Structure 1
Amino acid sequence: MPRPLNTLPKAHLHLHFTGSMRHSTLIELAREQGLHLPDALEQDWPPKLRATDERGWFRFQRLYDIARSVLTTPEHVFRLMREAAEDEAAEGSRWLEIQVDPSGFAPRFGGLTSTLELMLESTRRAAEHAGIGIAVIVAANRTRHPLDANTLARLAVQYTDHGVVGFGLSNDERRGEARDFERAFRIARRAGLISVPHGGELLGPRSIEQCVSDLDADRVGHGIRATESPRLMERLADRQIACEVCPSSNVGLGVSERAADVPVRKLFEAGVPIALGADDPLLFGSRLLKQYELARDVYEFTDTEIAELARQSIRSSTAPESVRKELLQGVDDWLTA
């Protein structure tokens, strides 16, 4: 009888704010406001996406922007985070690091600062409600000017003692090289924030190498294309730089044809730390638990190996040492039960 994966303590380190919304909540809020949703977000959900070309990424981003548009009041923000925290707790996720970009919401919530404060308050309430730990990563958009990233980095630094733990870089990595954002990451790292840029999803090893060399990455969002370079995998393993691998997202965006093609096993066996993530459940139709089910059912990880995946997610997190010890003990208990 396989051990239940929802009782395995784990950390979730790759989840985006808007993308964490429940599909049922999207539908409900849209109807309340009389907003028309495209078929891809309603009866054809989850949408069929293929973002490996520019047109496909534009379609993905358009759906994401439409989903964001239903969040028009602070109460909507509180609801999204409360429900996301409930979903995390139900799946055994005891520590969540959620990525937010205040820029997309700033016009409706009074600017960057007030938007970030709203999001931080929503995570504080949600964490208390669900009984899990939640921290925030402020993520810049690589399709915008690096000066905008500098502004976000300075904002993030102001809240290092109020829930912000890291600084990231997201969106289409083909639209801006990581090294262009070096100054923003230097601002963030000097204040003690971890560096967690996306790389190695739509582009190959060079994108990851820039994240590591130019942005001093502590973790890399996705990172699966590292398997194309044994030298890079060795570097990630030696420095214990985790890859936040999101199998369902990789398939949903057409980066991999099938879940079996996502090189989770290859990274694991090379000694690269892995933190499984759901990325944007709203658009890919599955949350964190599904990624652990894939580890067991598709990648044929044993329970001992699955427990190690959970440990790697916890060790790669910014959770306080006391929380890490508690969660790691919970993993051991799960394995010996």
Structure 2
Amino acid sequence: MDEERIAAIRGLPKVELHLHIEGAAPPAFIRGLAQEKNVRLDGVFDERGGYAFTDFVHFLSVYEAATSVLKSPEDYARLTTAVLEECAENGVVYAETFISPDFCGGGDVGAWQEYLHAIREASDRAETSLGITLRGIVTCVRHFGPETAKRSALCAAETAGDWIVGFGMGGDENQGKQRDFAYAFDMAREAGLRLTTHAGEWRGPREVEDAITDLRIERIGHGVRAYEDLALVDKLVENGIVLEVCPGSNVNLGVYPSLSRHPIERLRERGVKVTVSTDDPPFFHTTMADEYEALARTFGWDEEVFAEIARTSAEAAFCDEETRKAVMKRLDA
């Protein structure tokens, strides 16, 4: 594929559904905030100034250490602005970001509302100045346990609406079972929130099956190891379950040894609704434009395939119909 074609693909309008707000923090932003607060972040950065980690569990600890300098609603407002500037620069016109009340107010509803207000104000400013629309998905953290998840679900239920549009779960997939968190997901569902959860990244196909059966979700974060069970792949197709695929993340963390071994193309060919996201982009040295370029070079995807991916993403977004129509118009343009 020639470089002019690659440049055109990088410049396409994009929709991102799987983005952790703290994980999208530019390293320079976190370092600057730490300096302002006189906080030492030993072991968080490498000699080039990027985030330093060795495996998934270490990644989680570095993530939480970096997040520790975000201590106020104002910090999260500044973070939101920095993240959306990066997204807009890479052609993202609509994004959904995972936000955890555990990091934003310690699970207290009142404190969470203050954080959320600041984040939303920054989001509104970015929509006016940058043309990018952001919506929030409240997430519980799996390795913090089911009781903590209930507090997150309460925060989500109390702030459900046109900006907080979903509820999900991230964290260490190797801790506990999906069904352990069913109560929290039921709370969120009753509040009118739409549901997603991380599954099938580290554990195999059974984890994806459990997410569908026990939590009754409509999207799955990652979900790529479902390909190891083709009957399950057919079930994803039959039920219209959307996968929030993060190819660069999967390769950088060692789920797959290379992008050419990643199953995203095989899943798409079998009819699974796949989308493309960055997960925690600076941790994995990627952007949405980089993801598009890598997929184009590896699988030969052309503009038509990426347009299909973007429309699938917009259709799967948890936003209201008015917002979806506006996003679709931008994609069509």
The structure-2 alpha-carbon separation of the partners of 1:69 and 1:327, relative to structure 1 and needing over 3 Å to count, comes to: same
Please tell me the residue identity of whatever aligns with 1:163.
Answer: W
The structure-2 alpha-carbon separation of the partners of 1:311 and 1:61, relative to structure 1 and needing over 3 Å to count, comes to: same
The match for 1:178 is: 178
Out of 8, 22, 32, which is 2:12 matched to?
8
Please tell me the residue identity of whatever aligns with 2:229.
Answer: S
Q: Partner of 2:166: helix, strand, or coil? A: strand
The match for 1:144 is: 144
Please tell me the residue identity of whatever aligns with 1:191.
Answer: A
C-alpha contact (below 8 Å) 1:199/1:222 kept by paired residues: yes
The match for 1:95 is: 94
Question: What stretches of structure 2 of length at least 5 have no aligned partner?
Answer: none
Deviation sequence 1:128-159 (CA, Å, 0-9, x none): 34222111100001112312212221221121
The match for 1:33 is: 37
The match for 2:265 is: 265
**TM alignment of 1:1-337, pairs within 5 A:** 1-2=4-5, 4-38=8-42, 41-44=45-48, 45-51=50-56, 57=57, 59-107=58-106, 111-333=111-333
Q: Partner of 1:20: helix, strand, or coil? A: coil
Please tell me the residue identity of whatever aligns with 1:74.
Answer: P
What is the number of equivalent residue pairs in this alignment? 327
Give, in whole Å, the separation in 2 of the partners of 1:199 and 1:257: 19
Give, in whole Å, the separation in 2 of the partners of 1:105 and 1:319: 22
C-alpha contact (below 8 Å) 2:165/2:319 kept by paired residues: no
Q: Give aligned-pair identity as a percent.
A: 33
Please tell me the residue identity of whatever aligns with 1:102.
Answer: P
Q: Partner of 1:284: helix, strand, or coil? A: coil
Q: Partner of 2:299: helix, strand, or coil? A: coil
Q: Partner of 2:75: helix, strand, or coil? A: helix
How many Å apart are 1:68 and its aligned residue?
0.7
C-alpha contact (below 8 Å) 1:46/1:285 kept by paired residues: no
How many Å apart are 1:80 and its aligned residue?
1.0
C-alpha contact (below 8 Å) 1:77/1:119 kept by paired residues: yes
Give, in whole Å, the separation in 2 of the partners of 1:116 and 1:106: 10
How many Å apart are 1:46 and its aligned residue?
4.5
Q: Partner of 1:26: helix, strand, or coil? A: helix
Deviation sequence 1:227-285 (CA, Å, 0-9, x none): 01111111111222111111111122111111222211011111111121111123112
Question: What stretches of structure 1 of length at least 5 have no aligned partner?
Answer: 52-56
How many Å apart are 1:191 and its aligned residue?
1.9
Give, in whole Å, the separation in 2 of the partners of 1:176 and 1:112: 26
Deviation sequence 1:1-39 (CA, Å, 0-9, x none): 316234322211000011111122122222333333345
How many Å apart are 1:303 and its aligned residue?
1.9
Please tell me the residue identity of whatever aligns with 2:76.
Answer: V
Q: Partner of 1:137: helix, strand, or coil? A: strand
The match for 1:54 is: none
C-alpha contact (below 8 Å) 1:295/1:306 kept by paired residues: no
The structure-2 alpha-carbon separation of the partners of 1:294 and 1:303, relative to structure 1 and needing over 3 Å to count, comes to: same
How many Å apart are 1:321 and its aligned residue?
2.7
Give, in whole Å, the separation in 1 of the partners of 2:271 and 2:10: 25
Q: Partner of 1:283: helix, strand, or coil? A: coil
C-alpha contact (below 8 Å) 1:101/1:139 kept by paired residues: yes
- The TM-score normalised by the length of structure 1 is 0.90
Bigger shift: residues 191-200 or 282-291: 282-291
Give, in whole Å, the separation in 1 of the partners of 2:47 and 2:41: 10
